[in-house]
Amino acid sequence: MPEIQLGVHTIRSHGARVARFHMHDWLILMLLVVIEIILNVIEPFHRFVGEDMMTDLKYPLKDNTVPFWAVPLIAVILPLFIIVVFYFIRSDVYDLHQAILGLLFSVLITGVLTDAIKDAVGRPRPDFFWRCFPDGIGAFHNVTGNVQCTGLKSVVKEGHKSFPSGHTSWSFAGLGFLSLYLSGKIRVFDRRGHVAKLCITFLPLLMAALVGVSRVDDYWHHWQDVFAGGLLGITIASFCYLQFFPPPYDADGWAPHAYFHMLAESQSVSPPEANNRNRSGLRQTELEGV
C-alpha cells in the first residue's frame, strides 16, 4: 500500500466514507432539533407569583444587548468558520467532520437541556412585572393571590423562562468547544511556556462570559440563571469534545480519535517497514508543524 501522508484526507477523497460511518449521529442531531422546537412551542410551568414576591421582579423591560438571532452566529457560525479555516490549512476531513459533529452536539444537547429545565422550572424573569402588567397596574386573584396577567400572552410566556440562561448556555457550549478545539490545535499544553497560546484559548470564553453579563445587565436574567447556564454549557462542551478528540494536553490532542483509528487500520495491513516509515514520518511532520 502507498505510504500514508498528512494532507491527503480531503472531503472529495474521504468525506462520503466518514459521513456514512456517522450517519446515525446525524440522525440523532435531527431528532435533537425536533425536540428543541417542541420545547420552545410548549407552555412553560407558571409558578405562583404573589404580590409580595414582585419586589425583585420589577426591573425595567429592556431590549437585548445580544439579540436572539445573534446567539447562533456567536455560538455556532463563528466556531464553524474557524474549524473550516483549519480544514483549509491541514486538508483533513476527519478533523473537519468530527469538529462540526462535536460542535453541533454540544450546542443542541445544551439547548435541549436548557429549554427543558426552563419549561419545568418556570422561574419569572427580573422584568416579569412589566411583562405581566404593561400598564403598571397589578392584578391578583382575590383568593389565591396569584398574578392575573394582562400583558401579551407571548411576552408573559417568555417571562416564565428565566432559569437557566439560554444565551449563556449556548454561548459557553459553542465557544467552550471552540476553546478546547483551539487548545488542541495550537498545542497550548506543549510545556514550552507560550502564554500567548493560552490567551488565545481564553478569548472565546471571555466572549461567552460577556454574553452572560449582558443578560444580567438587560434584566432578562438573575445572576443564578447566568451562572447555571454557563456551567451547563461548558460541561456539555467538554463531554462532547472528549467524545471526538483526545484531551488538549494529550500528545495526540491535535487530531480527532477517528484520524488515529484510520491510521491504525491502514497500517495494520501494511508491511512492517512501511509502518515504521509511516509512524516516524507522521511524528516528524507534526513536529515540524508546531
Measure the N-to-C terminal CA separation of the chain; round to a whole number of Å.
28
Cβ proximity of 135 and 150 under 8 Å: yes
Cell numbers representing residue 177 in the block: 468547544
What CA–CA distance (Å, rounded) separates 195 from 200? Answer: 9
Largest CA distance in the chain: 87
What CA–CA distance (Å, rounded) separates 254 from 290? Answer: 10
Could you give the residue numbers annotated as active site? 167, 221
Considering only CA atoms, which of 237, 269, 268, 238 is closest in space to residue 76? Answer: 237
